[in-house]
Amino acid sequence: MTGGRLLRGIGVSPGVAIGPARIVDWELPEVEARTVPAGEVQAEVSRLHGAISEVRALMESLRARTEVRAGPEEAKIFDAQIMMLEDQEFLGQVEKLIQENQLTAERAFEFKALEMRIRWGQSPNPQLRQRTADISGISISVLKILTGHPVDDVLHRPDGRPLVVFTRQLTPGLTVQFEREHVAGFASDEGTQVAHAAILARSMGIPCVMGLVGGVDRIQDMTEVLLDGTRGTVLLDPTPSEIDAALERERRRRVLDEELEASLYQPAVTLDGTAVTLRGNLDLPEDLESALHHGAEGIGLLRTEFLLLGRTELPSEDEQAQFFQRVAERFTGRTVIVRSYDLGGDKFPAAFRSDYEANPFLGWRAIRVCLDHPQIFRTQIRAILRARLHGDAQLLLPLVTQVEEVERTRELVVESADALRREGIPAAETLPLGVMIETPAAALLVDQIAERSDFLSVGTNDLTQYTLAVDRGNARLAGRFTPLHPAVVRMLRDVVEVANTSGCHLSVCGEMASEPISAFLLLGLGYRVLSVAPKVLPLVRWFVRQVDLRLAQDVASVVVRKATARDIIATLEEAVGKQIDPLLLDVGRLPGDRGEATLRAQI
């Protein structure tokens, strides 16, 4: 019995770490509330810039160290922090506070940084919320310099066993300051899978658990701990038998890693010979190489919002066409599905302003924005038509709730193709048009939508969110967000039945396809095309090759009649456990996945 010895969080970097806990007080130093004489104001401004320059040099050093230890892509994490230090608008506000109120440099900087941290922390944009850790890291370093504290002596290097480092908030700068041989693992009260520090920990191969709310206060310095970065747990004062069990799980995880690597380029075929197509989801251009490396059979979801991030103007038709063409050419002979701008909700970049909405996720977003701004939509459609000359590029519409939205888009495609032809610009004459089934309205109208579409793609994240009326980003409701809810499962069954009857091509591009147990259900229901994050492709391919499709179909027919998610999960677990070592399945649930479903917590 572990009782109160077990702390639960989020596993963000796999592996097991055993050793004494070290509490690292990497927090903002106390800043005295005082002013300076008018004659010293300019000296305070100079002190501010001196500290900024010193921290910028530190960030450059950490960036270089990260490039060596984790790779060039991971090193780019520090670019965002360096940009913060070069933000003239922010620094100008700090200077103004010093000059107008005669505050010390540290007091003015602390005030404006706190203001920014609160604003970002309350933002509906999850990417912006995640960057609050970057602000904290920069603030701590700047304020330590301004208050005369050392910024790099965060851990006395031990001569003995590696330590498991605990902190309230793990920042990228703090993560890379530790030598691998001195640190067995990381744990923090705050943070999630997509935190920059979590990405670095994974790249460095250091087990890490985040989201241990109140965990630091429950641990005494040098307490023996067992941290499991795969399961997201920390066990205090583990017994020898508990350590042995954890090491056995870790051994099996490594065995699974080897099996995944071995099956990287093997076909995704079930035990009875049924082929399953595995495509990749692309969020950013750099995901392209990862998708190719992991054997993606095309792109099932190419998100286009990145084209707008960090910009004050919209991308041109040529810029979009060149990027879509590059992706299409890299996947010659394979399908590349480009999703139109899914703006709105938490995604309104500077280049595209929107009025305040009380409930933006049910407001002006996705296809509604595109159709209300046809000039912007036409530019993207024209770019995809041009790219289609170089590969099988197709257009996917998000958040459809009316057949009129599909019909109007078809009209825009025809108009755009005609305009390109009149202008003498080489482009395809037609463009396959698909619809994301991610609202209850679309699921219920799927027969009508299928008649007007060339293909369908089920977005299980939003379909679950809107069907259950549960915000998938709300931690308090995490236990209620599951795509294995009976209502969602029945919708999935109805969609695949309509697609099979109508002959409309069908795929799943939501996170549900990334979870082995959920993927087992999808295969049993009749889905044969799954699109997942590139790094999850090896796991899904390996799993597909273990599946007895006839068993999956039998189980699916039983599951759709279940009344609760708990019953559905239990039925699926029992069936999958007959084919696969349950422990292997457990370690196969990769930490760090972007999956927002909370199936793991429920299991």
Catalytically annotated residues: 196, 509
The residue written with tokens 């004659």 in the block is: 39
Collect all residues with Cβ–Cβ distance below 8 Å to 279 and sequence separation of at least 6: 296, 297, 298, 299, 300, 301, 334, 335, 337, 507, 509, 529, 530, 531, 532
Helices 105-121, 41-69: crossing angle, 10 deg rounding = 50
What's the rounded Cα separation, in Å, for the pair 208 and 13? 5
What's the rounded Cα separation, in Å, for the pair 599 and 331? 32
Collect all residues with Cβ–Cβ distance below 8 Å to 301 and sequence separation of at least 6: 279, 281, 282, 337, 339, 396, 457, 509, 531
Cα torsion at 436, 438, 441, 444 (round to 10°)? Answer: 80
Strand residues in 14-168 grouped as ranges (E): 16-23, 163-167
| CA–centroid distance for 406 within its chain | 29
User: CA angle, 169 as apex, 168 and 174 as ends, to 5°?
Assistant: 115
Collect all residues with Cβ–Cβ distance below 8 Å to 598 and sequence separation of at least 6: 478, 479, 481, 482
In one-letter notation, the amino acid at residue 16 is V
What the block records as the tokens of 167 is 């902190």
The pairing of strands 299-302 and 277-282 is parallel
Neighbours of 447 (CB within 10 A): 15
Phi, psi of 13, deg, nearest 5 = -145, 120
488: left (phi over 0), alpha (psi -120 to 50) or beta: alpha
Bridge partner list, 269: 275
The pairing of strands 233-236 and 6-8 is antiparallel
What the block records as the tokens of 305 is 């919002």
The residue written with tokens 């850790």 in the block is: 133
N-term to C-term CA, the chain: 19
Q: Mind giving me the DSSP string for 70-98?
A: T-HHHHTHHHHHHHHHT-HHHHHHHHHHH
Q: Are 187 and 235 in contact (CB under 8 A)?
A: no
What's the rounded Cα separation, in Å, for the pair 198 and 63? 16
Q: Are 164 and 17 in contact (CB under 8 A)?
A: yes
Q: Maximum Cα–Cα distance for the chain, whole Å?
A: 83
What's the rounded Cα separation, in Å, for the pair 431 and 96? 54
